[in-house]
Amino acid sequence: MGNGVNMNKTYFFRKKLFAVIFLLIVYIYSGFNLYHTNGILLEAGKSLVESLGSLGTILPESLGTVPPVTPQSLENSINSNMLFRMNLIEIYGFVQVLLDKREFNNFTSIKDESGSLHYSTFYRERSDDYRENALRLRRLQDYVEKYGTKVMLVITPSKYNRKYVRLRMGLSPNDPDSVVDELLFYANQFGITTLDLRDSFPNNELDYPHTFFKTDHHWTVPAAFYASKVLRDKMNEEYGLDLDPDGYYTDHEKSYDSVTYHGGMLGYMGRKTGAVFSGVDDFTAYWPRFEGHFVRETMTNNGKIERLSGSFEDVFINKDALVDRRDIYSNSQYSLYLNELRVFESIVNEDEPDGPEIFMIRDSYFSPVISFMAPYCSRIDAMWSLEESDAIDIETYVKENRFDYIIMEVYPYNIEDAAFNFFKGEK
């Protein structure tokens, strides 16, 4: 009897000791993490003061007011800068590799048999009204039609393609094809010109493995360049244009040098799982052989307007993305073109004053596409469709500016009400 009591005391003592040690480690880590993120809190405070001081200041081109720092943005900033964050992710990923698993973090990401990461889902609630999304685009088209402006909807391909992706049994990919099909059905029904880029990949120039990064949801630079050619051809055919008549800017062998940077690309999905689990990608970039004369004005997330002028390389290419390829966790090489994504872009080509003026409602998929189309356009303005701050207003911008063409590009996983945040109330 006495031995049983002693064993119970020893058992509970070990439990209590483990709990004390565990909580002590948590408190110590929290203290160091708070010290580590103290600078972030101070910067956020400064930004908040600046934002409050800037309220009411109207930005150029009717872009609205400077957005203040929100609690959610502050929380996201702290979480993304946690002490030893990537080390902890890599340790977890290493355990998954040892277990020969193909899913990560409760099926947040899954890996196919070729090593590419994909989004996963087991159940998707049908909550979006794709008919209403198409109607909003139709209302936009009805508004600008009187000014002679043409509207086009462009759908980019998703990384998951059931024809080319092989998964282990039990893994459920997030296949957006049904969503894309429904949106295109209504868009075509409402008389909107559409371009389904799913039909363009893979092709004779690019097989499936070279269309997308393994560690990222974006397409590769060669794929984006090919998409710019398909869009150019569609506009020439649909609107009777003659963009790039000599075919110089749409022939990468003539107008660009192709350079591959090996093992330096860790995409958004790879940063979620760690490089141990996902591996790393090679990154192929197109460097222009021509100069050009461009002016680019952009609006950053904090509402600041930046202005660049000069050649294609000076204006469109963010060389910092390639400065130190060893630091793969903090910088994606996909940001080489147009900094990956800015809230607002206004690009003027001083060498082509008679070219078309285009407004693009887009996401990060179109950053390299815009860069490759700019040499044969007069002006390209672009807004991020998912930005919900007061700093931008797509509908107001459309009403107060005139363009020859409005192109809305949407990535299949971004098809939702937030991406069509314009012309809601009109009949």
DSSP secondary structure string for all residues of 354-380: TS-EEEEEE-GGGHHHHHHHGGG-SEE
pLDDT of residue 34: 67
pLDDT in tens, 354-398: 999 999 999 999 999 999 999 999 999 999 998 766 667 899 999
Query: Does residue 261 belong to any structural domain of this protein?
Result: yes
Instruction: Return the top range by mean pLDDT from 51-65, 84-98, 104-118.
Output: 104-118
Query: Does residue 222 belong to any structural domain of this protein?
Result: yes
d(C-alpha 185, C-alpha 169), whole Å? 32
Question: Looking at residues 322-343, what average pLDDT do you find?
Answer: 84
Percentage of the chain lying above the pLDDT 90 cut: 65
Query: Does residue 172 belong to any structural domain of this protein?
Result: yes
Residues 79 and 126 placed together within one structural domain of the fold? no
Query: Does residue 148 belong to any structural domain of this protein?
Result: yes
pLDDT of residue 10: 79
Query: Does residue 93 belong to any structural domain of this protein?
Result: no
Residues 237 and 168 placed together within one structural domain of the fold? yes
Residues 222 and 329 placed together within one structural domain of the fold? yes
Residues 59 and 162 placed together within one structural domain of the fold? no
Residue 334 burial class via C-beta count within 10 angstroms: exposed 0-12, middle 13-18, buried 19 and up: buried
Question: Looking at residues 315-322, what average pLDDT do you find?
Answer: 92
Strand 379-384 relative to strand 109-111, pairing? unpaired
Tokens representing 105?
Answer: 């973090």
pLDDT of residue 58: 34
CA atoms within 13 A on the CB side of 60: 11
Has residue 302 got a pLDDT over 90? Answer: no
Query: Does residue 103 belong to any structural domain of this protein?
Result: no
- Chain-centroid distance, C-alpha 294: 24
Query: Does residue 374 belong to any structural domain of this protein?
Result: yes
pLDDT of residue 66: 45
46: containing domain: 2-87
Residues 33 and 141 placed together within one structural domain of the fold? no
Stronger pLDDT, 195 or 48, i.e. the higher one: 195
Query: Does residue 101 belong to any structural domain of this protein?
Result: no
- Among 71, 87, 103, the domain-final residue is 87
pTM: 0.84
Residues 130 and 9 placed together within one structural domain of the fold? no
Percentage of the chain lying above the pLDDT 70 cut: 82
Contact 358, 381 (CB under 8 A): yes
> For all residues of the chain together, what is the average pLDDT?
86
Residues 59 and 131 placed together within one structural domain of the fold? no
Residues 203 and 304 placed together within one structural domain of the fold? yes
pLDDT in tens, 207-236: 999 999 999 999 999 999 999 999 999 999
pLDDT of residue 325: 60
Tell me: cis bond preceding 202? Omega within 30 of 0 counts.
yes
Q: Where in 24-73 does DSSP place strands (E)?
A: none
Tokens representing 25?
Answer: 């480690």
- Among 47, 70, 87, the domain-final residue is 87
Number of independent structural domains in the chain? 2
pLDDT of residue 190: 96
d(C-alpha 124, C-alpha 179), whole Å? 11
Residues 239 and 175 placed together within one structural domain of the fold? yes
Tokens representing 157?
Answer: 């391909």
Write the DSSP symbol of residue 190. Answer: T
Q: Name the one residue in this structure whose structure tokens are 């004053």.
A: 353
Smallest CA-to-CA distance from 379 within 350, 344, 338, 341 is with 350
Question: pLDDT class for 32, splitting at 50, 70, 90?
Answer: low
- Among 45, 67, 87, the domain-final residue is 87
Residues 152 and 75 placed together within one structural domain of the fold? no
Has residue 187 got a pLDDT over 50? Answer: yes
Residues 53 and 199 placed together within one structural domain of the fold? no
Residues 130 and 30 placed together within one structural domain of the fold? no
Question: Looking at residues 148-175, what average pLDDT do you find?
Answer: 94
Has residue 41 got a pLDDT over 60? Answer: no
Residue type, 83: L
Contacts of 102 (CB under 8 A, 6+ apart): 110, 111, 112, 167, 168, 171
pLDDT of residue 209: 92
